[in-house]
Amino acid sequence: MSEETPNSVTLEKDGNVAVVIVNNPPVNALSWHVREGLANHFAAALADDSVEAIVLRCDGSTFIAGADISEFGKAPRGPDFNAVLNSIEQATKPVVAAIHGTALGGGLETALVCHYRVAVPSAKLGVPEVKLGLLPGAGGTQRLPRVVGVEAAATMTSLGDPVPAPKAKDMGLVDALAGEDSLAADAIAFARTKIADGPRPTRERAVFGDVAIIEQLKTANAKRWRGFDAPYANLACVEAATRLPFDEGLAFERQEFTKLMFGSQSAAQRHIFFAERQAAKIDGLPKDTALRDVKKVGVIGAGTMGGGISMNFLQKGIPVTIVEMQQEALDRGVGVIRKNYEASAAKGRFKPEQVEAMMGILTPTLNIEDLADCDLIIEAVYENMDVKKEIFAKLDSIAKPGAILASNTSYLDVDEIATATSRPGDVLGMHFFSPANVMKLLEVVRGEKTAPDALATAMAIGKKIGKVAVVAGVCDGFIGNRMLKPRQVEAMNLLMEGATPQQIDKVHVDFGMPMGPFQMSDLAGVDIGWHRDPTRIESIRDALAAKGRWGQKTGKGFYDYDEKRNPTPSAEVAEIIEDFRQHSNKAKREISDQEIIERTLYPMVNEGALILTEGKAQRASDIDVVWIYGYGWPVYRGGPMFWAGLEGTDKIVAALEKHGFAVAPLLKEKAEAKSGF
Ligand code: T1G
């Protein structure tokens, strides 16, 4: 949306109806020149006596998808958005919004100042600002309650989910549905029917509905909204609409909007909005790189990961052939997939016939040769290099030319695995996160010899199955797990020095993480990577594992768990830690929460800087996307690398040096420049 293209709004006439058309690809965002064009063309249409009604529509794939987020934080240009909207609302001729694609945020606010709205059935209408840490700051929180009522307005603004047009019609948000292929004509015809009725300024309509919804939404979403400011600000504005005159409500909204706009949470969430889209781009890869066709997928291993991975493809109608060694394991794996789908169907996510259709394109087999016609084969067996190389050597002999051979390993050397084949260009990693059918993150691991089109295809198929795909280089733990390691190591050291599992976990939960290092260990399994020799106790983990404290799966780990898996601190664990401390002559001392932050989160930023310097991540924002979508890092803190900028890289370096860490040169550089990543 370059400043050089001001002609993004045009005006046409169809008899006595003027049609104002926005054309600002890719999503008709309300860039300065669009606001300017709207102001000019509406003024022209209103001044033209031959015009008796006005239609506002957009070219391209969608109606206005909101304010131009890329303009936020920049010097304001063009007319004030609210002034443009007021001029449309106060129009002396009926104005009809013709909606297709998405009418989102400022786009819906624009449609709300139009006196009537016509939409195609496939359209979606919503105010997703809360997902950017904001609120509809151009009258949306004051006009929505006047059109759809308090309940719907509170729900739409605080949750941010769009509403399909047919439902919007039922809610009164849309006045008429148009033909999918005749929106412009239908809107003009509708406008003509409103000439007699005249304008219907939304601000003059009465607010209706029950304000009790606001407390109900807060109660129902308390866990989901923990740490977020925006949902509560949205509800405060809708509540204000129920008791303040329109202009006072607008002023209250403006005040709340400004607070959010200049706060760190929205800056973080906007960062992630663009970071997520940036992550899909492969630096240096020609945009028109031809992707390989992926019409059939093979999955090796029907365990938890293999099953979850398969579900992603089946849900997109892509046939999967799943291989196991033993019939019993195969039946169990296929059974779990069906059980998961039936559980989702019971919650209304799928229709029973959809479950049958997905299970119908799943082919279980004990014969790996059945993967010969697959376009993509994903190996998801347990972590053992020899086993994986054996499988890839086998695949090399049976897979068709051009098939992509992917490993779901979470840390093993993909280049080493590729050496087992004669086609390393077709080998890469596709690291899914458990549960693989739920977690959105996918680390696509680029091997030294991975072909650009293979990489691009894996990234594209990742997006197709609803994942946020990020390119990672080959190193131990790739991006996410590599940064997790220093955190877990320091967490264990802090235990030895006097902190408790519950203290450390509380610091992380208060920070906004879904759980702390020890709750995470208990969920993943304390025995992961354990040498299985109960007589060999070299770490606190060994001691716990030797006592069968393997985590949630055995009802005890770093915590004891009740039947509902609620954790409680364990006296036995405290004893084990005390025992270890004494044997290693570690003095016990008071440890502050700040020290826990400095020694568990700052080293992650440090490791992130090393990952960037080594080129194992394309950009710092990719690291943020990994942690947001793979590890539950709070989106309102923007990810570890963005957060480092908020926290202060100089402060981080000073603390890391204080605690004796080797500081990454890139991080030192940023600290000297007092800049973020
Ligand atoms: N501003 C600027 N750029 C935008 C944009 C926006 N609002 N929306 C999308 N883009 C860019 C995006 O970065 C990408 O660029 C390209 O368009 C295609 O997007 C006052 C304050 C509309 C559902 O939150 O949800 O209004 O990567 O890949 O999958 O109250 O984009 O190609 O260079 O996502 O087809 C509220 C945000 C703004 C909607 C289309 N609006 N957009 O999805 O394409 S705040 C939103 C979306 C506001 C007012 C307030 C989606 C989409 P690039 P894409 P898509």
Q: Residues 3, 36, 52, 129: which is the catalytic one?
A: 129
Render pLDDT for 305-318 as a digit per residue (tens, 0 to 9).
999 999 999 999 99
∠ CA 155-158-159 to the nearest 5 degrees? 75
What pLDDT shows up at residue 4? 61
- Which pair of structure tokens corresponds to residue 4? 């050089």
Ligand 1, atom nearest to 127 Cα: 36
Ligand 1, atom nearest to 62 Cα: 22
Q: Residues 52, 89, 109, 324: which is the catalytic one?
A: 109
Q: Would you say residue 1 has pLDDT above 70?
A: no
Ligand 1 mutation target, pool 8, 24, 27, most atoms within 8 A of CB:
27
Cα(478) to centroid of ligand 1, in Å? Answer: 30
Cα(65) to centroid of ligand 1, in Å? Answer: 6
Q: Would you say residue 573 has pLDDT above 70?
A: yes
Q: How many CB atoms lie within 10 A of CB 460?
A: 15
Ligand 1, atom nearest to 107 Cα: 26
Cα(70) to centroid of ligand 1, in Å? Answer: 9
Q: Is the beta carbon of 102 within 6 A of some atom in ligand 1? A: yes
What pLDDT shows up at residue 528? 84
Residues ≥6 apart with Cβ < 8 Å to 175:
116, 117, 118, 169, 190
Task: Report the percentage of the chain scoring pLDDT > 90.
Answer: 95
| Contact status, residue 169 vs residue 161, Cβ threshold 8 Å | no
- Which pair of structure tokens corresponds to residue 578? 């005390």
What pLDDT shows up at residue 583? 84
Average pLDDT of the chain, as a whole number? 96
Mean pLDDT for 95-101 is 98
Q: Distances in Å between the alpha carbon of 327 and those of 308, 331, 366, 383? A: 19, 6, 7, 21
Residue 483: strand pairing partners: none
Name which residue sits closest to atom 28 of ligand 1, judged by CA. 277
Which residue bears the tokens 């209304």? Answer: 348
Cα(138) to centroid of ligand 1, in Å? Answer: 17
Measured distance CA(519)–CA(8) in Å, rounded: 53
Local confidence band at 3 (pLDDT 50, 70, 90 cut-offs):
low
Measured distance CA(405)–CA(103) in Å, rounded: 41
Q: Is the beta carbon of 551 within 6 A of some atom in ligand 1? A: no
Cis peptide before 26 (omega within 30 of 0): yes
Ligand 1, atom nearest to 257 Cα: 21
Which residue bears the tokens 């099953």? Answer: 307
Q: How many CB atoms lie within 10 A of CB 532?
A: 8
Pairing of strands 163-164, 116-119: unpaired
Cα(162) to centroid of ligand 1, in Å? Answer: 13
Q: Known catalytic residue: 109?
A: yes
Render pLDDT for 418-435 as a digit per residue (tens, 0 to 9).
999 999 999 999 999 999
What pLDDT shows up at residue 288? 84
Strands across the sheet containing 95-99: 9-14, 17-22, 53-58, 95-99, 116-119, 176-177
Q: Is the beta carbon of 134 within 6 A of some atom in ligand 1? A: yes
Local confidence band at 532 (pLDDT 50, 70, 90 cut-offs):
confident
Strands across the sheet containing 376-379: 362-365, 320-323, 297-300, 376-379, 404-407, 427-432, 441-446, 468-473
- Which pair of structure tokens corresponds to residue 418? 């590729």
- 2 vs 322 pLDDT, higher one: 322
Ligand 1 mutation target, pool 30, 69, 81, 281, most atoms within 8 A of CB:
69
Name which residue sits closest to atom 15 of ligand 1, judged by CA. 277
Ligand 1, atom nearest to 128 Cα: 24
Q: What are residue 323's phi and psi, to 5 degrees?
A: -115, 140
Q: Known catalytic residue: 657?
A: no
Radius of gyration of the chain (CA): 28
Q: Distances in Å between the alpha carbon of 638 and those of 272, 308, 468, 576? A: 6, 28, 15, 37
H runs (alpha helix) in 59-198:
81-89, 106-113, 140-147, 149-159, 165-171, 183-193
Q: Is the beta carbon of 109 within 6 A of some atom in ligand 1? A: yes
Task: Report the percentage of the chain scoring pLDDT > 70.
Answer: 99
What pLDDT shows up at residue 374? 98
Cα(453) to centroid of ligand 1, in Å? Answer: 27
Q: What kind and span of H or E run contains 647?
A: helix 640-647
Residue 10: strand pairing partners: 21
Render pLDDT for 251-261 as a digit per residue (tens, 0 to 9).
999 999 999 99
Mean pLDDT for 258-267 is 97
Name which residue sits closest to atom 42 of ligand 1, judged by CA. 65
| Closest CA relative to residue 601, chosen from 629, 640, 637, 630 | 640
What pLDDT shows up at residue 150? 98
What pLDDT shows up at residue 530? 86
Residue 465: strand pairing partners: none
Render pLDDT for 37-90 as a digit per residue (tens, 0 to 9).
999 999 999 999 999 999 999 999 999 999 999 999 889 899 999 999 999 999
Local confidence band at 2 (pLDDT 50, 70, 90 cut-offs):
very low
Cα(156) to centroid of ligand 1, in Å? Answer: 18
| CA 669 from centre of chain | 30
What pLDDT shows up at residue 531? 86
Q: Is the beta carbon of 301 within 6 A of some atom in ligand 1? A: no
Render pLDDT for 600-656 as a digit per residue (tens, 0 to 9).
999 999 999 999 999 999 999 999 999 999 999 999 999 999 999 999 999 999 999
Q: Is the beta carbon of 34 within 6 A of some atom in ligand 1? A: no
Mean pLDDT for 488-495 is 96
